[in-house]
Each structure stands twice: as structure tokens, then as C-alpha cells.
Amino acid sequence: MQYEGIDNIKTEIENYLITDAETLEQFRIQYLGTKNVLKDLFTAIKDIPNENKKEYGQKINAVKQLAEEKFALLQLQFQNNKADKKHFVDTTLPVAIKNQGAKHPITLIREELVTIFSKIGYLVAEGPEIETDWYNFTALGIPEDHPAKDMQDTFYIQTNPDIVLRTHTSNVQIRVMENQNPPIRIIAPGRTYRNETISARAHCVFHQIELLYIDEGVSMADLKQTLLYLAQELFGTETQIRLRPSYFPFTEPSAELDVSCFICGGSGCAVCKYTGWVEIGGAGMVDPLVLENCKIDSEKYTGFAFGMGLERMAMLKYRINDIRLMSENDFRFLKQFENS
Ligand code: FA5
């Protein structure tokens, strides 16, 4: 009860509008004068149980100090502003926050994924968006003229065909493996670029997140368990996963990761196109040739990698039907994520 009284007086003091000498004097009398409103609260200390006395006393003292500070500051400002009383500005008033910003859905998804993986020991890694052919392609088992290059339409820098805008975050795998000895456990979120026609589902600028785990004895079972952990953390403990055989030049074997549809629970709906499953990324065991390209002994170490698109994930999670909304900065769209 008394605690509420203190909080109310604190809010009153913070919001007390002082515009001239008269209101400043009223403020002084009310909160610092001989019969000020805090006195009753000080008197009430005797009724407070012993174990709470200290906390209670500290609270009232803090409020008293707030009143003293506000008074001293305004007195000073008021003296300085005497010549211009009409334009006196009370700088102690709390700011009314209007149109406060909200986190972008891509940021929300990225933060969620980083939290999920930091709980099991993954560290965040980064790599450049302007990359050499070696890190984006060759070291990942995609040499010059390899048909796999057609899988990802690439933006090249006109004056130097060796430099590309990275087409995926897999370049970070190479940069980390070149510089770190196993065990390696990283998560690498970042922006990626592809020379693709923009549509409701595809963009030429989008985000991916890469996962890499290299150690002795890492197996496909570890990959599957990690992906199950990811799916259940993201969409709930009922979620199931399945791995479909696929092809990536840098993993062998490779797989696409599907999760049981978190909208219909697997019975079939428009989001999963009535299949009960939704695809969320690509994965596989790191190809031994990629390890050797990074001077990691492929006889001793094995590992897995996983990559997924953040826009597609945000579209699924927040039921966004057009990827373009995420880069248009329309305030009406962004506002919807204020409480996410
Ligand atoms: C890759 O980029 C691989 N590097 C992923 C990988 C990593 C596989 C590690 C194995 C091991 P893919 O081209 O399928 O794979 O792209 C991965 C995801 O990026 C897609 O599932 C999709 O979510 C997203 N993506 C790809 N192209 C676009 C695009 N144009 N617009 C938006 N998202 C896209």
C-alpha cells in the first residue's frame, strides 16, 4: 500500500509541470516544504515490518532526492531564463515516446536463431559480402566452368571476374576453417546476393544463416539431432523433421530439411501445399575435399553444414505472402512486428 503511494508521488514529481517562479515555489512547498507530502511516508516507517524497513526507507529517500534534484535544476534554469519567461522549457519532464521503432522480422528471426544455437555452444562468425571466387565457389568444390555455378546466378564485379557478391553464406565456412582449428562450432548470419528476377518468393538481395560443426567423429546422426533441436526450438516440441536426399557441391551426402507443417500440424494446408511438410534449408556432411582445401585433416575430422534463407523463414513464421515487403520499409508493415 505505502509502496504504491511512493510510486505515485514519484510519477507526480516527474511529470510536475513548472513554467514560472510561482509553479516552482508550489513545487517546493509540496515536496520539500515543512509540511511536504513525503513526510507522511517517512512517519509511516514505524508501521513497516522490520525486514522491509530498509527497502522502504531507500525508496522514499530516492523520491526525496528526485524532488531536490528537479527543484535545484529548474531553479538554476529558471534563473538563467528570467529574461525570457515565456519560452521557459522544463527539461526535466519525461519524453513522450511516439512512433517508437520496432525490430524488423529478419532481425527477429536472426536473433532467435543465434539464441537457439548459442545455447548449444555455437559462436557467431562473419564473412565479407564482396568475396573472391575462391571462397564463394572454388574452395567449396565449385571450380571454374562447373555446372553447379549455374545453381546460383552470380553478380560479378565488372572489372574483375574473380570478385563476386557472395551468393550464399557458405563462404564463411571456408574463412573460419582456414583460420581455426577444430573443434569448430559456428553460426553465420548474413546478406547474400543472386542475379535473380524479383518475385513474391525470390529476391536478388536476401539473407541466409549458415551452421558449421567440425570435430572428431561428427556424424549424420549429429546433424539430424541438431536439426531436430532447431525445428523444435523454432516451432514447438511436437515438430518432426525429415531429410530428403539432395545435391550440394560442398557436402556429401547432402539433404534438404523439411519440418512438419507448424500451421496444420501435418494434416495439410495452403502453407505446406497440402503435403504436411515445409522445406526450410539445405544441409549435409562437409565434403572431405572442402576440409582439405582448408588444410584440415579429413582422415581425423568430419563435420556437417546447414544453410537456410531468413526471408523464407520469416515468411513462414509470420505468414508474410510477399518477400518484397521485407525490403520496402513500409511503416504499416514494420509496425506489425512491434510486439513480436
Ligand atoms: C545454398 O545456398 C547452400 N549454400 C545451403 C547449404 C549450406 C547447403 C550448407 C548445405 C550446407 P540454396 O541455393 O538452396 O542453398 O539456398 C538456401 C536457401 O536460401 C533457400 O532454401 C532459400 O530459403 C534461400 N534463397 C535462395 N535463393 C533465394 C532468393 N532468390 N530469394 C530469397 N531466398 C532465397
Question: Same structural domain for residues 123 and 229?
Answer: yes
Work out the average pLDDT over 45-63.
91
Question: Same structural domain for residues 217 and 259?
Answer: yes
Say if ligand 1 is within 6 A of residue 64 CB: no
**Domain extent at residue 43:** 3-87
The pLDDT value recorded for residue 101 is 74
Question: Same structural domain for residues 80 and 161?
Answer: no
Instruction: Please write the tens of the pLDDT for every residue from 224-239.
Output: 999 999 999 999 999 9
- In a domain, residue 193? The reply is yes
Query: What is the pTM for the complete model shown?
Result: 0.74
The pLDDT value recorded for residue 83 is 55
Total count of domains within the chain: 2
Name the H helices within the chain. Answer: 2-15, 21-32, 38-43, 50-80, 105-118, 133-136, 171-179, 220-235, 288-293, 310-318, 331-334
Q: Does residue 153 carry a pLDDT above 90?
A: no
Q: C-alpha distances in angstroms, 140 versus 176, 188, 250?
A: 13, 16, 5
Instruction: Please write the tens of the pLDDT for every residue from 166-217.
Output: 999 999 999 999 999 999 999 999 999 999 899 988 999 999 999 999 999 9
Find the 308 Cα to ligand 1 centroid distance in Å.
6
Question: Same structural domain for residues 146 and 203?
Answer: yes
Helix, strand, or coil here: 62? helix
Position in ligand 1 atom list of the atom nearest CA 281: 21
Domain boundary among 61, 87, 113: 87
Domain boundary among 27, 60, 87: 87
Q: Does residue 1 carry a pLDDT above 60?
A: no
Percent of the chain residues past pLDDT 70, beyond the cut = 94
- In a domain, residue 96? The reply is no
How many helices (H) and strands (E) the chain has is answered by 11, 10
Say if ligand 1 is within 6 A of residue 166 CB: no
Instruction: Give 2 or 303, the one with higher predicted confidence.
Output: 303
Find the 151 Cα to ligand 1 centroid distance in Å.
10
Find the 282 Cα to ligand 1 centroid distance in Å.
7
Helix, strand, or coil here: 222? helix
The pLDDT value recorded for residue 81 is 67
Position in ligand 1 atom list of the atom nearest CA 168: 2
The pLDDT value recorded for residue 4 is 79
Three cell numbers written together for 195 = 542475379
Question: Same structural domain for residues 73 and 120?
Answer: no
